[in-house]
């Protein structure tokens, strides 16, 4: 095909191209449906949800400050802290994405609370028991001086204190969800089972 024939072919394509009329464009505009917006509920500042977020933030800060300490903890305590950190970070991210309206994912938040409550309970109990054994603490931290030993103990006690607050705030939040929302009975039953599992883990 020579150059002239090619130009004739292109001209023919342009002449047969579909022309879009103004009425077609108007119809597309009229038929356009904007994405449905999620109506957010306003959560009051005295809601247990915010107390839970504050407690979670406090634990994350303590863990960050005690980075060198975590590696020296007994393996089971270190694992619990890692699991708690993962859940609390996920909750913090979800809070921002949901504009601090937990009603968008009630079941998910409730499930998170069960895990936070269980892990915090086990952490508080086992860490408190660990702290009572001076020989075990000195073995793990090689804290020969009195001041060094006391420093480690004080830092661990802060973890216990934050864990206790997590236990309390997660229970308050779950109680609030059960009272103010129609949660599936299956979830409520899982909370009972989770409490039973917590006792098993504490005494294992």
157-163: average pLDDT: 92
Statement: residue 20 has pLDDT above 60: no
- Report the C-alpha gap between 20 and 26 in whole angstroms: 11
Q: How is the chain split into domains, by residue range?
A: 45-202
Average pLDDT over residues 131-151: 73
pLDDT at 169 exceeding the cut of 90? yes
Judged by DSSP in three states, 204 sits in coil
Whole-number pLDDT of residue 29: 43
Model confidence, pTM: 0.72
Greater confidence, 16 or 120?
120
State the CB neighbour count (10 A cutoff) for residue 137.
Answer: 18
CA separation for the pair 163, 81 (Å, rounded): 10
Q: What is the sign of the dihedral through the CA atoms of 67, 69, 72 and 78?
A: negative
């Amino acid at each position: 095909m020579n150059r002239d024939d090619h130009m004739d072919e292109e001209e023919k394509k342009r002449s047969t191209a579909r022309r879009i009329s103004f009425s077609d464009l108007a119809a597309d505009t009229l038929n356009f449906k904007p994405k449905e917006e999620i109506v957010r509920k306003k959560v009051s500042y005295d809601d247990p949800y915010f107390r839970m977020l504050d407690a979670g933030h406090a634990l994350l800060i303590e863990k960050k400050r005690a980075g060198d300490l975590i590696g020296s903890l007994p393996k089971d305590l270190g694992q619990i802290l890692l699991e708690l950190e993962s859940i609390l970070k996920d909750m913090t991210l979800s809070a921002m994405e949901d504009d601090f309206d937990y009603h968008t994912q009630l079941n998910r938040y409730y499930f998170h609370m069960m895990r936070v409550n269980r892990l915090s309970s086990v952490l508080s109990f086992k860490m408190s028991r660990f702290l009572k054994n001076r020989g075990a603490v000195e073995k793990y931290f090689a804290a020969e001086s009195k001041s060094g030993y006391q420093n480690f103990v004080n830092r661990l006690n802060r973890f216990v204190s934050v864990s206790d607050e997590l236990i309390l705030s997660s229970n308050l939040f779950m109680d609030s969800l059960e009272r103010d929302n129609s949660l599936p009975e299956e979830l409520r039953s899982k909370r009972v089972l989770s409490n039973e599992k917590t006792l098993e883990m504490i005494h294992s």
